[in-house]
Amino acid sequence: MTTTTDRPPTGAGSTIPATSGPQSADAAPALTGVQRLTFAKAITLGLRRAMLDDPRVLVMGEDVGRLGGVFRVTDGLQGEFGEDRVVDTPLAESGIVGTAIGLALRGYRPVCEIQFDGFVFPAFDQITTQLAKMHYRSRGRLTVPVVIRIPYGGGIGAVEHHSESPEVLFAHTAGLRVVTPSDPAQAYTMIQAAIASPDPVLFFEPKGRYWDKGDVDLGPALPSSGAHAEPGQSGPRDDEARPAGASGALDTARVVRAGTDLTLVAYGPTVATALKVAEAAAAEGTSIEVVDLRTLSPLDTPTVAASVRRTGRCVVVHEAPVLYGSGAEVAARITEECFYHLQAPVLRVGGFHAPYPVAKLEHEYLPGVDRVLDAVDRAMGY
């Protein structure tokens, strides 16, 4: 998309004082090799990689700069890239997203941070009526490559508005990609894929997994969309520059554990739970295949259906309430696609249809190993 801009990027006539500008490239550690990282740090380095590769990428949100974010996911980025690429915004989510839409239309690739899942609703109008619709409304002439990072889910001892799972509200809205990584390696890859995508992406981060560790391959870099093009200049067309490997992370589910008796479908924070369930079931002689959805919109039905055709049974688990949840869509599609292969109804396990409880009761609300194993036993009992 060819754009014009009145504001130069950092280092090209910027009015930001030199003390707040970016450090030299030599001052930052190289992003190479396999490192063992926390989930949060993997996202940090994914953001950093994208910002190094494409000067149009900028990060904005409440306390993302000097503080480094509530969960320190953006820690160090402002010191490296400057205040005009890592922007501390006012406490106004509608303003953050509205500004990001304007920046995207001018050629930038903004990444917004929403501090907690429950804080996204002041921006719900901008996301669902503007961001999601602009490409369609313009008959494809406009792209709005905005990424909105949303820490979501429970497990941190917080309360309502800090522990909820609103992902299905956005997955229901046409025009948005809704994705969620489940481990550090996926987080590092998927945040770069989201930034490279020409589509608006809701990037849900399971905050209860921020401190989980895993091996992450930091190289080679994923190609960025229009890499090294300055804001206001026309780089390669988004549909030409989009990396095939990266787009796969935003389009496809993955089988993370093979099995023969039952398919356990999970995403985000519940993938780790599903793997624990599979281990426990294996000790009792039940072989469970675990599928990580990764993307809720679009939903990769073929991967899930292929698994269910092999196993004949399916259980879907997520932290969000079961009623009208994303598991209902998975169950409906699998029932349609795999009716003659099913040996039991598709069962769902999730949160209850109630406001998120106080911290000392969240272990009763969230689907744990025992509740999921109970559903597995019921499915195997048919």
As annotated, the active-site residues are 162
User: For tokens 């698994």, what's the residue?
Assistant: 307
Give CA angle at 278 (274, 280), nearest 5°: 115
Cα–Cα distance between 24 and 26 in angstroms, integer? 5
The alpha-carbon radius of gyration of the chain (Å, integer) is 21
H/E run at residue 112: strand 109-113
**CA-closest candidate to residue 70, choices 37, 117, 16:** 117
Are 215 and 34 in contact, with CB atoms under 8 Å apart?
yes
Cα–Cα distance between 381 and 324 in angstroms, integer? 25
Cα–Cα distance between 162 and 189 in angstroms, integer? 26
Q: Give me the helices (H) in the chain, please.
A: 39-53, 77-81, 93-105, 124-125, 134-137, 167-171, 184-196, 238-241, 244-251, 270-283, 301-311, 326-337, 362-365, 369-380
Instruction: Count the neighbouring beta carbons within 10 Å of the beta carbon of residue 363.
Output: 12
Torsion, Cα of 41, 46, 51, 57 (10° steps): -110
Which of the 8 DSSP states describes residue 228?
T
Q: Give me the helices (H) in 124-217, please.
A: 124-125, 134-137, 167-171, 184-196
Instruction: Count the neighbouring beta carbons within 10 Å of the beta carbon of residue 310.
Output: 15
Give CA angle at 174 (159, 123), nearest 5°: 40
Q: How many helices (H) and strands (E) does the chain have?
A: 14, 14
